[in-house]
Amino acid sequence: MLISRCKLIKYPEDLPDVSVIVTFHNEAWSVLLRSVHSIINKTPKHLLREVILADDCSDMPHLGEPLEKYFVDYQKVKIVRATSREGLVRARLRGYRVATGAVLVFLDSHIECTEGWIEPMLDRISRNWTTVVTPCIDVIDDDTFGFRFQGAKDMFAGGFDWKMVFIWHSLPENEQKRRNYEDHLPYRSPTMAGGLFAISRAYFTYIGTYDDGMDIWGGENLEISFRIWMCGGTLETTPCSHVGHIFRKRSPYKWRKNVDVVRRNNIRLCEVWLDEYKQYYYDKIGIQTLPEYGNITSRIELRKKLKCKSFEWFLKNVYPEMWVPGESLAYGQIAAKTQPYCLMGDCGYGQTGKPISLVNCSSGHNKVMYLTMAKEIKRDNGCVDYSGKPGIQMESCHQRRGNQEWEYREDNTLYHVFSQKCLEISQDGQTLFMNTCLGTDYQIWLWNRNGPPGPTRNWNSLD
Ligand code: UDP
Ligand code: MN
């Protein structure tokens, strides 16, 4: 259900008008038309300046002449085409160059706008031209194309991890509090998913549009998110605006040969915006020397010209929940004292609930774990979790202590605070379990008592 408070809000008549820019590359006919018609039908006429379809050199026949013919009587629909495959960023910029509306809304080509989707975003931007707004993104089912509406209970803000992967997380308590726990109010988000957002055209120009050296897909959403915050803007989501998006199981189009495009885009973003924190990304992906990533001089100049703040400022002020590896209380492999086994916690993206296991310490697996400031034992996006029931598993880190609060005590035991039990390895070295803390050798674990090299947030030197 749409939050009922949203329906009661009256917006001014004179909101700024919008150019909606939809980039596409080999999109299905019905899916593209669904997107465009929902934009036309759900946007009040006087607010819609135009819909710009930016074709990134599609080669599917229906996207050529048939598309032109279909929209020939639609005055507001404009089609611009790239003659070679340019990727998402340059396709969007192609749309931007012909746009005339006061506000730009970038959308993917497999979406559906809902009633009242545009007003809440325009309202925010009309109050402050440096506010960038995203709608709530609902799920359009990849198999049935059904629309799944997301209610106020599932509000998510955007984050990222040190692999430079965008992640969703629930709204932190301080942000809930700032909004007086009112579900209909916009909330701040450290990053955005990137597919759908509204921005003043003047502001988009002022903050340097996009990095046009970024190819195909990836990285551009974090780049513009960091840039907005670090250069004085605000990024927020309004729960009163809803747009559905088809989340595909895998990427449906061709990538470049012999180049890791996402990595190259990420390196560009790290070199310009991450300061010394870029090392964490390079450590995560395991590169010592950087592969070719193009020229970034103009982007570095942009950062200087706009007098943008440091990445450390961003972490401290915008994303204090972010985990910073250098701040760990312990890190490295966790080895049993009695046997040559180490703890292994597997938790890939969207993969939780796996029991932690034991593997040979000298095996090739990456078994590095971190004891975070929130007292979690962390690996990737998973944290060691003990619910009191048999089994110790990896779950999504929640930073709320409880089942995920651990201490690495002076006597080298791993103490679970809530249950007051210690982690123990069985005598045959095959299983792990929680037991009363006795300090026996089976409860002793060898771990490094410091963080990895790398920057920390220097809490005192920043406002
Ligand atoms: N896109 C494009 N050129 C590319 C890759 C993507 O124009 O080389 C468009 C694509 O058609 C879509 C948008 O950029 O409208 C975002 O891509 P996608 O939907 O694959 O990203 P996701 O939503 O999966 O993150
Ligand atoms: Mn998409």
Residue 276 has pLDDT above 90, yes or no: yes
Q: How remote is the CA of residue 253 from the centroid of ligand 2, in Å?
A: 12
Average pLDDT over residues 401-428: 97
Whole-angstrom Cα distance, residue 361 to residue 272?
38
36-91 pLDDT, tens digit per residue, is 999 999 999 999 999 999 999 999 999 999 999 999 999 999 999 999 999 999 99
Whole-number mean pLDDT of the chain? Answer: 95
- Classify domain 326-448 by CATH number: 2.80.10.50
Q: 1 or 370, which is more confident?
A: 370
User: Is the minimum distance from the CB of 248 to ligand 1 under 6 angstroms?
Assistant: yes
- Per-residue confidence at 428, pLDDT binned at 50, 70, 90? very high
Question: What pLDDT score was predicted for residue 348?
Answer: 73
Question: What pLDDT score was predicted for residue 3?
Answer: 74
Whole-angstrom Cα distance, residue 99 to residue 447?
57
User: Is the minimum distance from the CB of 55 to ligand 1 under 6 angstroms?
Assistant: no
Name, in order, each residue with C-beta under 8 angstroms of 96's C-beta and a sequence gap of 6 or more: 21, 104, 201, 204, 209
- Per-residue confidence at 381, pLDDT binned at 50, 70, 90? confident
Share of the chain above pLDDT 90, in %: 89
Atom of ligand 1 nearest to the CA of 25: 11
Average pLDDT over residues 405-419: 97
Residue 460 has pLDDT above 80, yes or no: no
Least Cα distance to 441 among 419, 421, 457, 426 occurs for 426
User: Is the minimum distance from the CB of 216 to ligand 1 under 6 angstroms?
Assistant: yes
Residue 404 has pLDDT above 60, yes or no: yes
User: Is the minimum distance from the CB of 63 to ligand 1 under 6 angstroms?
Assistant: no
Query: Are residues 415 and 437 in contact, defined by beta-carbon separation less than 8 angstroms?
Result: yes
Least Cα distance to 94 among 137, 45, 44, 56 occurs for 56
Contacts of 409-417 spanning 24+ positions with Cβ under 8 A: 411/439, 411/444, 412/337, 412/444, 412/445, 412/446, 412/447, 413/437, 413/439, 413/443, 413/444, 413/445, 414/334, 414/377, 414/443, 414/445, 416/386, 417/375
Atom of ligand 1 nearest to the CA of 85: 8
User: Is the minimum distance from the CB of 119 to ligand 1 under 6 angstroms?
Assistant: no
Average pLDDT over residues 427-435: 95
Whole-angstrom Cα distance, residue 6 to residue 4?
5
Residue 372 has pLDDT above 70, yes or no: yes
Question: What pLDDT score was predicted for residue 127?
Answer: 98
- Per-residue confidence at 347, pLDDT binned at 50, 70, 90? confident
Average pLDDT over residues 292-309: 98
- Per-residue confidence at 2, pLDDT binned at 50, 70, 90? low
Which residue of 21, 108, 165, 210 sits with most ligand 1 atoms within 8 Å of its CB, as the best mutation to test the pocket? 108
Q: 381 or 206, which is more confident?
A: 206
Query: Are residues 261 and 254 in contact, defined by beta-carbon separation less than 8 angstroms?
Result: no
Residue 32 has pLDDT above 80, yes or no: yes
Whole-angstrom Cα distance, residue 12 to residue 274?
40
User: Is the minimum distance from the CB of 140 to ligand 1 under 6 angstroms?
Assistant: no
Question: What pLDDT score was predicted for residue 142?
Answer: 93
9-24 pLDDT, tens digit per residue, is 999 999 999 999 999 9
Whole-angstrom Cα distance, residue 290 to residue 445?
36
DSSP secondary structure code for residue 11 in this structure: P
In this structure, the residue with its CA closest to atom 1 of ligand 1 is: 88
User: Is the minimum distance from the CB of 24 to ligand 1 under 6 angstroms?
Assistant: yes
Looking at the CA of 25, which ligand is closest? Answer: 1
Whole-angstrom Cα distance, residue 248 to residue 25?
14
Whole-angstrom Cα distance, residue 199 to residue 131?
7
Residue 149 has pLDDT above 60, yes or no: yes
Residue 359 has pLDDT above 60, yes or no: yes
- The secondary element (H helix, E strand) that includes residue 359 is strand 357-360
Whole-angstrom Cα distance, residue 230 to residue 224?
10
User: Is the minimum distance from the CB of 304 to ligand 1 under 6 angstroms?
Assistant: no
Name, in order, each residue with C-beta under 8 angstroms of 60's C-beta and a sequence gap of 6 or more: 26, 27
Residue 1 has pLDDT above 80, yes or no: no
Question: What pLDDT score was predicted for residue 108?
Answer: 98
Atom of ligand 1 nearest to the CA of 27: 11
Whole-angstrom Cα distance, residue 65 to residue 67?
5
Whole-angstrom Cα distance, residue 193 to residue 325?
23
Integer-rounded Cα Rg, in Å, for the chain is 25
Question: What pLDDT score was predicted for residue 445?
Answer: 98
Query: Are residues 429 and 339 in contact, defined by beta-carbon separation less than 8 angstroms?
Result: yes
CATH number among 3.30.2290.10, 3.90.550.10, 3.10.450.40, 3.30.70.100, domain 2-246: 3.90.550.10
Tell me the residue type at 198. Answer: A
- Per-residue confidence at 154, pLDDT binned at 50, 70, 90? confident
Q: How remote is the CA of residue 24 from the centroid of ligand 1, in Å?
A: 7
Question: What pLDDT score was predicted for residue 346?
Answer: 80
Average pLDDT over residues 196-206: 98
Domains of the chain by residue range: 2-246, 326-448
Average pLDDT over residues 186-214: 98
